[in-house]
Structure 1
Amino acid sequence: MNIRRSSVLGAFGGIMAFIFTGCSSSRHAQTASPDLSGLKGIEKVKHVVVIYMENHSFDNLYGEFPGANGHANASKESITQLDRDGKPYQYLPAIPRSSEFPTNIPNSFFNIDQYIPSDKETPDVTHRYYQERTQVNGGKMNYFVAYNATEGMTMGYYKTDLLPLYSIAKQYTLCDNLFHSAFGSSFLNHQWLIAAATPYFPNAPEYLRATLDSNGKMKTDGLLTPDGYAVNTVYSVNQPHPAGVKEADLVPNQTNPTIGDRLSGKNISWAWYAGGWDSAMAGKADETFQYHHQPFIYFANFADGTAAKKEHLKDEKDFLKAAQEGTLPAVSFVKPLGINNEHPGYSNVITGETHAIELINTVLNGPNGKDAVVILTYDENGGFWDHVAPPVIDKWGPGSRIPAIIISPFAKKGYIDHTQYETVSILAFIEKRWGLKPLNSRDAQANPLQGAFDFGD
């Protein structure tokens, strides 16, 4: 069954960024484990495949999806962006280093396709921990422009019905209320995907740390919080990492549990498959290979020289072979190479989504397709605006809304799932399927995607 398709900016050194810890009463936190009646029959699932794409908010890609909570539901307050003095812009600020965009775009969301087609790269958009906390503005969602290096670009969106993945989203289950679990960066959300936790770097150099004033406002940005938690892009002591990074700047091995540890503890097969992995390990990394998108290498159990690293960390080509042959492990995480992951700045939507369709088709057409669940989602919003205020759980997040598509013989067909989820809901689903102990309170309390399935009698 084939499915057919119908340079990071934002260092912000010295910028004052407000950190909001409060919220309106409508932004409710998760407080208890959900009812699991929707997962009756989950044992029919024999294979879970997580395809982890990059850097798009829900409104950026699916704001026009019929029946979803998209642009038409956005409030005037969330649409109207404010400058740092709290005043509405007359026009969106000019998008720097990109002559394709006019300088008089109204203060609202706008269609990117009319200026840059979706098979071309666009400027990257700021996606960092402190900046996103500020952009959300206590749930008002109206500081995305003011605290963004590409300014008006954050309000851009793509025509939903022109997306290669649109037909898949129409055919299966589209989740329109899933939030990335941690504010800001790709690095941090990859950590949360596998460990539901933020890495700790206790003896990090002071120059890596952000500084805050007495009111908790950011004085200078950094890769770490003042108390040593790694929130923006840092690299592991293990390979692969860029050759030029100073040893003192490399994150030491983490020892908290990962979903890989839980699976291995019950002898359940799993693997992390990364595009360009073998070349990177051979010291010949593709120019778009992202070292900080390989979360397991940050952990002692998968350190250089361990048997677990060799067994579980593999190249994407090994995934394609296993899917074709029907030898997929019970759980697969697939991380496409940079050029194929939709990340603005070094990839584009058409190339990335076309590659994702190849991955999906390979699973569905293979021997394991009959009992597989494919979850395609994004690491974070990439700094793009979304109108829905994220729930408040703790200081780490969740951040803004991102797309997720559940593709499976067991997924509800032609369905929009409005249930509140977050990235670690994927962990919760895996844990429920194989009876695994949660990693901590966040995945223990996350809804395990229970509204997306129909397992039949």
Structure 2
Amino acid sequence: MSRSMSRRLSLAALCATAAITSASAAEVETATPIKHVVVIFQENISFDHYFGTYPKAENKAGEPAFTAKPGTPSVNGLSHVLLTANPNGVNPMRIDRSEPITCDMDHDYGPEQQAYDGGLVDKFVQYAGATKPGCDPKQVMGYYDGNTVTALWNYAQRFAMSDNSFNTQFGPSTPGVLNLFAGTTRNAVGGDVPGLVRDGWIISDADPQLDGCSGGKNLLLIKNTRHVGDLLDDKDVTWGWFQGGYKPTEVRPDGSIVCASATKNAAGKAIRDYSPHHNPLAYYEQNANPKHLPPTSVAMIGKSDQAKHQYDLSDFWAAVDAGAMPAVSFLKAPAAQDGHAAYSGPLDEQKFLVETVNRLEQRPEWKETAIVIAYDDSDGWYDHVMPPIVRASTFPEDALSGNGRCGSTTAIAGGPCGYGPRLPLLVLSPYAKRNFVSSALTDQTSITRFIEDNWHLGRLGAGSMDQYAGPIDDLFDFSATPDPSPIVLDPETGLIKG
């Protein structure tokens, strides 16, 4: 046999193997008609901060007007009493569209508990209010309405949302995204760091050790912990974490990398796109990709290769445009558009959400897709609903039920206290119920549970909170005829086009 013929046969064999692998992945049965889940995981919003007065907006002159459809259900929001005689001593105040960037509130593990004051929910100004120079702690009581978060209110009109969904535990971004992926923040390596790691559990923010763009000290690593991506790999289901700014802007001569791309926010300030402590996979040893190596090809996006399932947002769209959208995709906006107070806000976030949703709705995959819009934590913003404490804790940082205590002995023991604050949760899909508000109890790991159930993955076990999560099935109606017609919004105003 000639060398050239041998090469052709080898290439044919490789192509055949790739085709078989691809077919095998495509044939994975789902429990529902949903074949693609896109989780858009945003930053730092309590439910009342965005939906406290839903569906009634003030409709001031010069602002995008919002008028609810007839029959729109009410939500567990801010009542007349809460708006006019609030127990916090400061009444909630509407933040105008002209103030799209606010101060960052205190949303750490202990202060959040103190704000709820054993269930009285009356200490937000004292413990969760912003205290940096130039900030007013009373602003923690602020909320936006449908004249500013117009797109989200319009999505709620067209699709389904929950008014009873919670952070899996108290605390900021890193615990939130780790719970989304693994239902746990345990097995952090490096010893206890007060206020950051307690008994191996992560309760606050620190950059991941396995990320070449991390900075600072107390970099964290998680060992011996499986997450939902591992379960997806077990079943050959394609998936990935896609984050703005993940692609390095520079590779230095010594091999180190720089992630310096930036986007201007509504205030005109350039904000670095990539935030390492928002990337869950960079903490897990099985997903180590410290140099942010790209996928070996567009065809490998969502599959196991040197990228270790960590990608730039541009890789998501490359896969989508190639007709190879992963079955499960987690999207993280560039920081300027993730909604986080101090450097982003609702108008920046709206631009990212609308452009993403508009584009996905035009795809042939839309007819079998579910977009989940969720948040990593509350930023400390006031929310009037006391979270149900399903997991008690006696860490030194705990404070809800007294010094060093959170919850009763009847709750699940072991790990940080939770549930934490109430957060927005929306599902956009041809199979989503229309103009529907669910009050079924859910948390961040309910999203994990839906993925597990839809692809028959089983539970993570080993103490993961997915085993206790309420399902998000109430947001869907799989018995009705799906409606794939898109709702196309203007990314600047959030209003329906046409």
Cα 1:337–1:439 change in 2 (3 A) is same
1:456 is aligned to 2:479: yes
For 2:85 and 2:432, how far apart are their aligned partners in 1?
32
Give the superposition deviation at 1:308: 5.0
1:402 is aligned to 423
Q: Which amino acid aligns with 1:405?
A: L
Aligned equivalent of 1:157, options 116, 119, 143: 143
Give the superposition deviation at 1:272: 0.5
Aligned equivalent of 1:122, options 102, 120, 127: 102
2:269 is aligned to none
2:373 is aligned to 376
For 1:308 and 1:130, how far apart are their aligned partners in 2?
40
For 1:180 and 1:125, how far apart are their aligned partners in 2?
16
For 2:214 and 2:420, how far apart are their aligned partners in 1?
28
Query: How do 1:196-345 and structure 2 match up within 5 A?
Result: 196-204=183-191, 208-209=193-194, 222-225=195-198, 227-243=199-215, 245-246=216-217, 249-279=218-248, 282-286=257-261, 287-304=272-289, 308=305, 310-345=307-342
For 1:300 and 1:387, how far apart are their aligned partners in 2?
39
* Paired residue secondary structure (2:373): strand
Q: Which amino acid aligns with 2:276?
A: Y
Give the superposition deviation at 1:439: 1.5
Q: Which moved more, 1:302-311 or 1:340-349?
A: 302-311
* Paired residue secondary structure (2:248): helix
1:50 is aligned to 2:30: no
Give the superposition deviation at 1:393: 1.1
Q: Given that residues 189 and 220 in structure 2 are in contact (C-alpha distance below 8 angstroms), is that contact kept between their aligned partners in structure 1?
A: no
For 2:208 and 2:470, how far apart are their aligned partners in 1?
31
2:117 is aligned to 137
1:416 is aligned to 437
For 1:167 and 1:433, how far apart are their aligned partners in 2?
27
Q: Which moved more, 1:249-258 or 1:411-420?
A: 249-258
Q: Given that residues 175 and 418 in structure 1 are in contact (C-alpha distance below 8 angstroms), is that contact kept between their aligned partners in structure 2?
A: yes
For 2:101 and 2:467, how far apart are their aligned partners in 1?
39
Aligned equivalent of 1:426, options 427, 447, 453: 447
1:36 is aligned to none
Q: Which moved more, 1:346-355 or 1:278-287?
A: 278-287
* Paired residue secondary structure (2:48): helix
For 2:317 and 2:337, how far apart are their aligned partners in 1?
15
Q: Which has the larger radius of gyration?
A: 2
Deviations 1:113-144 (A, max 9, x none): 1xx625x3111111111111221222222111
* Matched-pair identity in %: 30
Aligned equivalent of 1:70, options 44, 68, 77: 77
For 2:146 and 2:84, how far apart are their aligned partners in 1?
23
For 2:86 and 2:36, how far apart are their aligned partners in 1?
40
Aligned equivalent of 2:177, options 190, 197, 200: 190
Q: Which amino acid aligns with 1:352?
A: E
Q: Given that residues 187 and 224 in structure 2 are in contact (C-alpha distance below 8 angstroms), is that contact kept between their aligned partners in structure 1?
A: no
Q: Given that residues 78 and 141 in structure 1 are in contact (C-alpha distance below 8 angstroms), is that contact kept between their aligned partners in structure 2?
A: no
Q: Which amino acid aligns with 1:43?
A: T
Q: Given that residues 110 and 156 in structure 1 are in contact (C-alpha distance below 8 angstroms), is that contact kept between their aligned partners in structure 2?
A: yes
Aligned equivalent of 1:178, options 165, 187, 193: 165
For 2:361 and 2:116, how far apart are their aligned partners in 1?
38
Give the superposition deviation at 1:263: 0.4
1:111 is aligned to 94
For 1:73 and 1:258, how far apart are their aligned partners in 2?
43
RMSD: 2.2
Give the superposition deviation at 1:176: 0.9
Q: Given that residues 432 and 448 in structure 1 are in contact (C-alpha distance below 8 angstroms), is that contact kept between their aligned partners in structure 2?
A: no
Higher RCO (CA 8 Å, separation ≥ 6 residues): 1
Give the superposition deviation at 1:180: 1.1
2:86 is aligned to 79
Q: Given that residues 324 and 363 in structure 1 are in contact (C-alpha distance below 8 angstroms), is that contact kept between their aligned partners in structure 2?
A: no
For 2:129 and 2:386, how far apart are their aligned partners in 1?
22
Q: Given that residues 280 and 289 in structure 1 are in contact (C-alpha distance below 8 angstroms), is that contact kept between their aligned partners in structure 2?
A: no
Give the superposition deviation at 1:399: 0.7
| Runs of 4+ off more than 4 Å | 73-78, 305-309
Cα 1:277–1:122 change in 2 (3 A) is same
For 2:197 and 2:205, how far apart are their aligned partners in 1?
9
5+ residue gaps, structure 1, are 1-40, 82-88, 90-106, 210-221
Give the superposition deviation at 1:324: 3.7
Q: Given that residues 121 and 346 in structure 1 are in contact (C-alpha distance below 8 angstroms), is that contact kept between their aligned partners in structure 2?
A: yes
Q: Which moved more, 1:183-192 or 1:440-449?
A: 440-449
Cα 1:408–1:59 change in 2 (3 A) is same
Give the superposition deviation at 1:373: 0.4
* Paired residue secondary structure (2:374): strand
For 1:448 and 1:289, how far apart are their aligned partners in 2?
31
Give the superposition deviation at 1:73: 7.3
Deviations 1:60-88 (A, max 9, x none): 0011113111112775999311xxxxxxx
Cα 1:280–1:380 change in 2 (3 A) is farther
* Paired residue secondary structure (1:359): helix
Q: Given that residues 78 and 387 in structure 1 are in contact (C-alpha distance below 8 angstroms), is that contact kept between their aligned partners in structure 2?
A: no
Aligned length: 372
5+ residue gaps, structure 2, are 1-29, 56-73, 131-136, 251-256, 262-271, 294-303, 394-415, 481-498
1:146 is aligned to 126
Q: Which amino acid aligns with 2:93?
A: F
1:353 is aligned to 2:339: no
* Paired residue secondary structure (2:311): strand
Q: Given that residues 427 and 448 in structure 1 are in contact (C-alpha distance below 8 angstroms), is that contact kept between their aligned partners in structure 2?
A: no
For 2:42 and 2:224, how far apart are their aligned partners in 1?
26
Cα 1:78–1:328 change in 2 (3 A) is farther
For 1:128 and 1:437, how far apart are their aligned partners in 2?
32
